[in-house]
Amino acid sequence: MSEITFSHDEKALIVSKVKKYFNDELGQEIGGFDAEFLVDFFAAEIGAYFYNRGLFDAQQLFTEKVEELGYLVQELEKPTDYRQ
């Protein structure tokens, strides 16, 4: 897996959410630089866990849809007379 990167706008939004969380939930102010450093740390250290979980969820959904499609194809079968 390659390094997790975000666009400038995505990162700015994430940093603002981290700053808001620290302020609202922890009663602490955190600067933009520190919040960005924290975001980078989480992306590097635990981002793969979230990424892998997303892949797992996507794979499960894909498997369910393929199975559903198989049933739909079976419903298209025409009756045949196998008597010879």
DSSP class per residue in 34-80: HHHHHHHHHHHHTHHHHHHHHHHHHHHHHHHHHHHHHHHHHHTPPP-
Average pLDDT over residues 26-51: 94
Give the number of domains in the chain.
1
- Is 59 contained in some domain? yes
Give yes or no for residue 5 having a pLDDT over 90. no
Question: Which pTM does this prediction carry?
Answer: 0.69
Tell me, yes or no, whether 42 lies in a domain: yes
Which residues contact residue 35 at a Cβ distance below 8 angstroms, ignoring those fewer than 6 apart? 15, 16, 18, 19, 22
Q: Is residue 60 situated within a structural domain? A: yes
Q: For the chain, what's the residue count?
A: 84
Chain-centre distance of CA 33, in angstroms? 26
Give the pLDDT confidence score for residue 40 in this predicted structure: 93
**What is the sign, positive or negative, of the torsion defined by CA atoms of 61, 67, 70, 74?**
negative
Instruction: Give the structural domain span for 42.
Output: 8-75
